[in-house]
């Protein structure tokens, strides 16, 4: 099971990333847990300076960008 963190303060781009990650995981039939991290101190604790950010199984995959669902599916399938 994959552990997925979407980091962001709750802005439109962050919410879109969260929704797109859910869609990509569902399309892949992926068993995962997706968490939204919106606390600024927690985000800073990951060393993230630009949001939205995506961490999959402890590895930073993207920060400051909004990848397409196809790109997310590619990231999630690795």
Is 32 marked active-site? no
The reply to whether 14 belongs to the active site is yes
Burial class of 18 by CB neighbour count within 10 A (0 to 12, 13 to 18, 19+): buried
Catalytic residue among 14, 24, 48, 76: 14
Query: Alpha-carbon distance 60 to 32, whole Å?
Result: 16
* Contact present, 23 and 67 (Cβ < 8 Å): no
Selected catalytic residue, list 10, 11, 19, 50 = 11
The catalytic residues are 11, 14
């Amino acid at each position: 099971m994959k552990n997925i963190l979407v980091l962001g303060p709750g802005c439109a781009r962050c919410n879109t990333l969260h929704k797109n990650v859910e869609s990509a995981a569902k399309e892949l039939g992926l068993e995962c847990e997706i968490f939204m991290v919106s606390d600024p101190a927690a985000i800073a604790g990951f060393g993230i300076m630009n949001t939205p950010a995506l961490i999959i199984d402890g590895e930073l995959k993207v920060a400051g960008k909004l990848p397409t669902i196809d790109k997310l599916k590619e990231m999630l399938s690795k």
